[in-house]
Amino acid sequence: MTDNPQTFTLTSPTGEVIMTGSMSAIMERLPDTPARDAALSSMLRTAADAVEAEQRQQEAMASAAQMIADTCTHLTSRLDAYIARREAQRKADEEEAARQEQEEIQNYLDALPDPDNPNPNTGDLSAVVTAPEDPTGAELEPDDTGPNELVEMRPVTDPAELAHAPKAPTQPIAISLNEE
């Protein structure tokens, strides 16, 4: 024993000091003592608590991973639905634009006069096409070579016919409409 009443010394039969410490610390080293049994049960309880805490931590991590996966799945499905709505809206917009374009074309065509009946009231073409007038006020004489006269077209087989063919009139280079 030492001077401190709480400190004990374990000595061998030869007098060597084997251990120094409190009574429970010395008794933990000896087999079949209540202190050793308490120390062993404390160690086993601590180990069991550590295993249980690790299991709870793994369960919490698995739960968190599952929540993240569920959130990603939900977000992915919402994104897919959004893309599908945008695609449907784009198609609807294209169809509406095509319908409006077709409607504009039809309105334009409906506004044009009927080619088979230019003047739907009488069938008279004089309201649509008027005879040209001379700017001097003189009356123009009808031309016999108008667009209503049929001209016979035939191929030229004899080159001599080309020599006697009438020459085409020369076209004027410039026309001045101003009085000088």
CA–CA gap between residue 76 and residue 23 (Å, rounded): 66
CB 28, CB 10: distance < 8 Å: no
Return the percentage of the chain with pLDDT > 90, whole number. 36
Mean pLDDT taken over the chain: 78
Instruction: Categorize the per-residue pLDDT at 90 as very low, low, confident or very high, splitting at 50, 70 and 90.
Output: very high
Q: pLDDT tens digit string along 99-152?
A: 999 999 999 988 887 777 666 555 555 555 555 565 666 555 655 555 555 556
Kindly report the pTM of this predicted structure.
0.37
Q: How far is CA 141 from the centre of its chain?
A: 71
- In the prediction, which pLDDT does 143 show? 53
CA–CA gap between residue 72 and residue 64 (Å, rounded): 12
CA angle 48, 53, 55 (to 5 degrees): 95
Q: pLDDT tens digit string along 39-62?
A: 888 999 999 999 999 999 999 999
**pLDDT of 2 strictly over 50:** no
CB 24, CB 36: distance < 8 Å: no
CB 22, CB 7: distance < 8 Å: yes
Phi, psi of 21 (to 5 degrees): 165, -165
Question: Token pair for residue 115?
Answer: 């080619």
Domain ranges of the chain: 1-30, 56-107
Instruction: Tell which wins on pLDDT, 5 or 102.
Output: 102
CB 23, CB 14: distance < 8 Å: no
